[in-house]
Amino acid sequence: MPTITDATTGDAPAPSRSDAPPHGAGLAELGLALGGFALGTGEFASMGLLPNVARDVHVSVPVAGHMISAYALGVVIGAPLLAAVFARTGRRAMLMGLMAFFAMANLLCAVAASYGLIVAARFLAGLPHGAYFGIASLVAASLVPPDRRAQAVARMMLGLSSANIVGVPFATWVGQVAGWRAAFVVVAAIGLATALLCRLALNPMPAPDNASPLTELGALKRGQVWLTLGIAAIGFGGVFAVYSYITPMLTVVTGMGEAHVPLVLSVIGMGMVAGSLFGGWLADRGVMRAIWITLLLNVVTLGLVAVTAHNVVAVTINMFFVGFAALSMGPALQTRLMDIAADAQALAASLNHSAFNMANALGAWLGGVAIAAGLGWTSTGPIGAMLALGGLAIWAVAWRTARGTPAAA
């Protein structure tokens, strides 16, 4: 790989004493991360509660799975729509409004009397997902000096990765003990707590003077934005090819009991937390360099799935690094979008999470195609590695076309 250095792109300096968060940057970052925790818990806990929902509303589990697709569709549509429509809204107010809306949608899901209303509520709950992460990334980056932006974004994203360790198991347990509706009430409560903490921990943050829906939509005219989104949609799909079918792989190939599968999922979550922190540190030392390094890590760890799947210890260790490699990409991709979007940062940063949900759909679909073709449960690993290689190919195009431009890396 060539030697790569990053250009500085004119980010706002660290806040002065007068505009610093009223109770310190630590509490502000905690409030931002709590929103990610709420969103991650709400998105992934619904997967574990599918049988409970299906039984209660008298549909099959595959049909109940449409509520997961509805949430993902909400993310893809809501990220650009809300970022553009509310471009003139102050960022603190935007964060509070998004989390309040998310809480109300989860409460609607908790009281929904029919399957159709549940699916509609899950679609509504997905709408604020991408916009929240996009705006929260911009706010987190504004709290620190420019050379530590990616690490601030990584700390904000810790909420999402830690949800896989704490939030999802807890919400699933609540759903099993008190009913699946109670789990969505818990998620709604976390969303409301986030809105309140953002109100307490952040100063009012007016939108940029030139902000407008048309300005934000200008991000879609930039080729580098589309290439970066392509890296996320293709390269990140590899981990979902494996994650979507990890339970049957562990039980059928590894010979692990179903009761032990959540332990491996927690190991993946711990890898995600470590990977997010590492990815932020690496991205602050060169964003484009960090992207190709983390993509290469994904190629290696996903490729090893087929080799390690037959041994409990080996597959558990490798699953840690699968989670590590996957989340280590996040801070670099998010920071890259903020660098190249110029005056349309809110939309570009929000679109990152639309791309991640496209990666989810693509990885799960290709993994299913390989399994249906008789290639076996472990075939998802090589499929994932090929997707990561596809991300590397798009990275190469982005790097070559950006050379000599203000977005050069």
What is the DSSP annotation of 287-349?
HHHHHHHHHHHHHHHHHTHHHHTTSHHHHHHHHHHHHHHHHHHHHHHHHHHHHH-TT-HHHHH
287 with 162, same domain: the answer is no
CA distances from 366 to 208, 236, 245, 327, 383 (A): 41, 13, 11, 21, 7
In a domain, 400, yes or no: yes
244 with 341, same domain: the answer is yes
199 with 222, same domain: the answer is no
In a domain, 16, yes or no: no
196 with 231, same domain: the answer is no
- For the beta carbon of residue 84, count every other beta carbon within 10 angstroms: 21
- For the beta carbon of residue 41, count every other beta carbon within 10 angstroms: 28
201 with 230, same domain: the answer is no
In a domain, 379, yes or no: yes
121 with 190, same domain: the answer is yes
Query: Quick check: 31 and 201 in contact, CB under 8 A?
Result: yes
Q: 342, 341, 303: which is closest to 321 by C-alpha?
A: 303
308 with 361, same domain: the answer is yes
In this structure, what CATH number is given to the domain that contains residue 129? Answer: 1.20.1250.20
233 with 144, same domain: the answer is no
Q: Which among 207, 227, 252 is the end of a domain?
A: 207
CA distances from 280 to 175, 347, 402 (A): 34, 21, 22
Q: Which two tokens stand for residue 332?
A: 């670099």
In a domain, 14, yes or no: no
In a domain, 11, yes or no: no
Q: Which among 207, 231, 262 is the end of a domain?
A: 207
In a domain, 345, yes or no: yes
138 with 278, same domain: the answer is no
Ordered mean pLDDT values, 10 residues apiece, the chain (409 residues): 40 46 78 91 78 82 75 85 81 92 95 91 92 87 82 84 81 84 94 94 76 62 84 88 82 84 84 89 89 94 94 94 90 82 70 81 83 87 94 91 59
Give the contacts of 126 (CB within 8 A, at least 6 positions apart).
Answer: 43, 70, 71, 72, 73, 74, 75, 78
234 with 183, same domain: the answer is no
CA distances from 294 to 36, 267, 372 (A): 22, 19, 30
Structural domain of residue 276, as residue ranges? Answer: 217-409
Handedness of CA 153, 398, 305, 49 (dihedral sign): positive
CA 272 – CA 262 distance, rounded (Å): 15
Q: Which among 174, 207, 240 is the end of a domain?
A: 207
User: What pTM did the predictor assign?
Assistant: 0.76
The whole-number pLDDT of residue 391 equals: 93
Phi and psi angles of residue 222, each rounded to the nearest 5 degrees, phi first = -95, 120
Type and span of the H or E element at 194: helix 180-201
Type and span of the H or E element at 361: helix 345-372
In a domain, 192, yes or no: yes
The whole-number pLDDT of residue 387 equals: 94
The whole-number pLDDT of residue 312 equals: 93
100 with 245, same domain: the answer is no
- What's the total number of domains in the chain? 2
Phi and psi angles of residue 72, each rounded to the nearest 5 degrees, phi first = -60, -40
CA distances from 390 to 199, 268, 296, 334 (A): 42, 23, 11, 19
